[in-house]
Amino acid sequence: MDFIEDIEVGRGRSQKTAENYHLYLERLIEFAGDITVDKITYNMVRKWRLWLNRYRNENGDNLAPITQNYHLIALRSFLKYLARRDVDSLAPEKIDLSKNEIKETSYLTTEEVERLFAAVGTKSEIDFRDRAILELLFSGGLRVSELCNIDRDKINIKRREFMVRGKGKKDRPIFISEHAAAALQDYLDTRHDQEKPLFISLSTSDKKTISRLTPRSVQRIVSKYAFAAGITKHVSPHTLRHSFATDLLMNGADLRSVQDMLGHSNISTTQRYTHITDPRLKEVHQKFHHKEN
């Protein structure tokens, strides 16, 4: 499909985004059949939304509301693509997204972060690797996909900084603490291979199988140590990214700088943290709300 190629090549989106858009539009075809674009009407889209709400995947699970919205975003992008080429179809602005409840931002306290790190051993190659993973997620505010894609020749431990390519193929600098740099150096000192990826899988058998760690593998690693540390809340790699941002803002960093460090294209995404990081709000509430005369 020309549209899918345009997503990746013309608009510079990632291959994964293009694949997802293809999947979402395939589900439209699954619902409506192989129709021509002039048959895409508001009423048809309304019925498709109901179909998506009742849809079950191969595991028997319903689509989350935000995933349903991704389907609509893909369709709206396709309709914009048609409009730019003067092809008659439904106007893109007629596709409204559902209002999703914003999930509460979960983060770790300083004490919980310390417990998480303390749960990692200091004996095996896997221990050193896992500590470096946790330190980089928290110290650099990395997305898990960014962490997994790092090559070790791109890391400058002495300068404690490196570049990653984030969403929309945008590069941004990552800065890490002395603790994270030391953990990374300890891990690299255990490596005797010449493989390119920074973080690799290590089998426990005599014959080691080396491959780049996947985001799912990193998720399991984080969950393992959160459980070992006795942290009852759900902890994911993204929780450490939230913790990074929260720590910066609680210690006085300005919102715009945090936006840049997180790689958010829109500052409204970063503003989700302000309600939990402005201690003055609670002071104002206690001082002025419902005072007795």
**22 among known catalytic residues:** no
Q: What would the two tokens of residue 219 be?
A: 């998720």
pLDDT of residue 206: 47
The CA–CA distances, whole Å, from 220 to 45, 121, 122 equal 38, 16, 19
Position 280 pLDDT exceeds 60: no
pLDDT of residue 47: 94
Q: How many domains does the chain have?
A: 2
Q: Which of 94, 120, 143 delimits the end of a domain?
A: 94
Any domain includes 99: no
Residue of 165, 167, 172, 224 marked catalytic: 167
CB-based contacts of 44-53 (< 8 A; 24+ apart in sequence): 45/72, 45/75, 45/90, 45/94, 45/95, 49/98, 52/27
Digit-coded pLDDT (tens) for 180-226: 999 999 999 999 888 999 999 976 544 456 789 999 999 999 999 99
Mean pLDDT of 271-277: 68
**273 among known catalytic residues:** yes
Task: Classify residue 89 as exposed, middle or buried by CB count within 10 Å of its CB (0-12, 13-18, 19+).
Answer: middle
- Do 176 and 258 fall within a single domain? yes
Any domain includes 255: yes
- Do 262 and 119 fall within a single domain? yes
Q: Find the CATH number of the domain harbouring 56.
A: 1.10.150
pTM to 2 decimals?
0.64
Within 8 A by CB and 6+ apart from 228, the residues are 119
Neighbouring C-beta atoms of residue 20, cutoff 10 Å: 18
**238 among known catalytic residues:** yes
Residue of 27, 165, 238, 272 marked catalytic: 238
**pLDDT-derived band at 63, boundaries 50, 70, 90:** confident
- Residue 170 to residue 259: CA distance in whole angstroms: 13
Q: Find the CATH number of the domain harbouring 129.
A: 1.10.443.10
Domain coverage including residue 15 = 2-94
Any domain includes 102: no
Q: Which of 42, 67, 94 delimits the end of a domain?
A: 94
Average pLDDT, the chain: 85
Contact 69, 53 (CB under 8 A): no
